[in-house]
Structure 1
């Protein structure tokens, strides 16, 4: 009974915490200019009550859970619109780094793009106090402490008695991810052509805005069907890099990530000359050079090639951890399946069998495009702008 009462108490505390977290506590908080300490001063002085608003969002249900965060379906109380709310606990430097990477990437975009998930707002919560975050808010002590935690690699913001969370409020995509959408329907050449164009458009937009995604995979591509036809949304920017302020690449060099979260200089930027060194991503979509830890934005092009190839031919594998069937191409080595990037790293002269299916309807021009996207040498791959142009030409002529 004691254990049961303790569990009920914990669940009740979680519900209270979730219910209150997105309640903006003061007018000043709404523009991000106040710090948490200012709100505590209001509380101590007893004048907070007159500044309290009703919670802005109601959490409906949990729709996803990862290693460092939970995603909920929620309703915006004012408009009644459905939104997705991602709750990230900032209790360890690696979690803070992932959360800030996503925030920097989405908040740095000056324009919206139909095929990139839209961040509506980001809220920092500590001890039930909520503060709207803004990109590069140097007046917020809590924001600066988060950055310091990420840079130093040690916890400087809060202990176990003071949980800290970042809440991302984003557009809701009711169609699930690309895996679910493709594998639950019959093959549709029209959808395939549309998805190729949408994906290449999204990556071109991100690269033009100096963002390298670094974790493109079907899990991170969501589907919205509100318009009546499926619209892809590239999401999950936890591993992304915002490349900025380095001009034509001065200061960029092998062996270290040369992208930093600072005010961006858009002129004279060539994102394909910024070298990154942190090997990250998901095995089946990683380019050969990522396995070596020395790569550029062209790694996103390789990942997109794997996704498009798998989507067109409905090539899947069973993920060892989640046991889910996922879209992804691979190379067979005996009884084992090996990620294409890893296989190419071991044997750069290997010729990929594109298409894999004997009865494939894949055109010669599309086969050539996939071969170029999956080239061992990243310099032989098209950049994002060229890729989008070539995909547009293919989809217009088929």
Structure 2
């Protein structure tokens, strides 16, 4: 269970302050000017492959095990006959947090821009987050336009790299990571060896949902379009037995490559792959869903019957039952309701640590603002005032659907598949 830290936030409407209980903070976007000048346009060195993959490389499978952009490798670690041309060049750092660093990069062969995320696996909690993201993204056999696409993943240690595949039981490094996650402690004898996971993903050039919405004039048509995209993404994830558990505007990216905005649900570090669990024994487990890919696509799995127990996420989007530490995939529906409500009415608060204006709905209690889920937990009979603002473009159908998505009892909320159908009906009716 995550340790929660007290922080202070400020309501952007009236400047009032309250305590904020914040979950594990990741993905903080800030620039490191000095470092970035050194990294800009740098063609990074090649990586030698670990012992498990020497044979494949010699046999001509260089495309499967080409090098990734790792600038800090020592050249003396590279064996001359194993060096291949670098596949990516870093352009700039676009995100940094306690969880990892994200770079914008370019593929040398095609010129395509990609996002490269480097996750340092130097502690059990970081290993678990990194593996959670890896398992979630690699368990998806099909693509969805509203879920960020993983192109490839590399496990790197001491200058040796190995392309990761789902459930790679032949990789000693991979098994070490799994063991670290299971035991919750460092594996003796390996604490001095730096280990990283590198994710290469599609690059989203439109920033996150906060930046996109708040930098433009209100547009009901854009809101409805985004509502459909978001519900479609969550339905896709739930059909594939993935509970995101940290849905928030920061983790929803925008791609504008097609000429119009496409939302991409990203950041799966807190996600849970529920395939392989049973309804009788569905307590959260560090390696749930780490098995074969076929199990994730089992259409008979009802993700809403699996109970999870780690109280994680970001407090302004957490469902009442998450605060108690006993919840199902319906918690994602609640978080989605908060996001959509805030997006339609442009309800925001200022995060005192980052000084950023963030989309998020809350309840006023005297001079404080309280997350909706926390307020409902304290007072389950509380009636939410949707919409909050007297002059709102929200339709009656949208009001009704938001009330259902934010129901205090998860059983009263629609599941993701029902929500996808309902959202299409509601937005088309408008």
Asked if 1:362 is matched to 2:394, the reply is yes
Change (3 A) 1:353 1:18: farther
Asked if 1:386 is matched to 2:424, the reply is no
Asked if 1:200 is matched to 2:216, the reply is no
Cα offset for 1:66? Answer: 1.1
2:290 to 254, 261, 264: 261
Partner of residue 45, structure 2: 20
User: Contact conserved, 1:32 with 1:140, CA < 8 A, in 2?
Assistant: no
Partner of residue 230, structure 1: 261
Q: TM-score normalized by structure 2?
A: 0.82
Alignment of 1:236-315 (within 5 A): 236-246=267-277, 249-252=279-282, 259-263=288-292, 264=295, 266-315=298-347
Cα offset for 1:260? Answer: 3.8
SS at match of 1:55: coil
Partner of residue 39, structure 1: none
User: Contact conserved, 1:32 with 1:132, CA < 8 A, in 2?
Assistant: no
Distance 2:411 2:98 in 1: 34
Distance 2:184 2:121 in 1: 12
Aligned residues: 377
Deviations along 1:167-191, whole A, 9 cap, x unmatched? 0000000000000000000011111
Which protein is richer in helix relative to its size? 1
Change (3 A) 1:357 1:82: same
Change (3 A) 1:157 1:194: farther
Partner of residue 180, structure 1: 211
SS at match of 2:387: coil
Distance 2:39 2:55 in 1: 26
Distance 2:233 2:165 in 1: 24
Alignment of 1:93-112 (within 5 A): 93-112=124-143
User: Contact conserved, 1:33 with 1:140, CA < 8 A, in 2?
Assistant: no
SS at match of 2:106: strand
SS at match of 2:44: helix
Cα offset for 1:358? Answer: 0.3
Distance 1:161 1:290 in 2: 36
Asked if 1:142 is matched to 2:173, the reply is yes
User: Contact conserved, 2:220 with 2:393, CA < 8 A, in 1?
Assistant: no
SS at match of 1:100: helix
Change (3 A) 1:102 1:330: same
Deviations along 1:127-181, whole A, 9 cap, x unmatched? 1112110010001010000100111111128756421110000000000000000
2:373 to 341, 365, 373: 341
Distance 1:90 1:160 in 2: 10
Change (3 A) 1:33 1:153: farther
Cα offset for 1:21? Answer: 6.2
Distance 1:22 1:236 in 2: 26
Change (3 A) 1:13 1:383: same
Partner of residue 5, structure 1: none
Of 21-30 and 355-364, deviating more is 21-30
Partner of residue 40, structure 1: none
Of 151-160 and 81-90, deviating more is 151-160
SS at match of 2:404: helix
Cα offset for 1:256? Answer: 7.2
Distance 1:211 1:65 in 2: 25
Of 91-100 and 158-167, deviating more is 158-167
Change (3 A) 1:158 1:358: farther
Partner of residue 4, structure 1: none
Cα offset for 1:267? Answer: 3.8
* Structure with the larger RCO, 1 or 2 (CA within 8 Å, 6+ apart): 2
Quote the RMSD (CA, aligned, Å). 2.8
Distance 2:347 2:368 in 1: 15
Alignment of 1:308-327 (within 5 A): 308-327=340-359
User: Contact conserved, 2:376 with 2:382, CA < 8 A, in 1?
Assistant: yes
Cα offset for 1:51? Answer: 2.6
Partner of residue 217, structure 1: 248
Partner of residue 185, structure 2: 154
Partner of residue 198, structure 2: 167
Unaligned runs of 5+ in 2: 1-34, 66-76
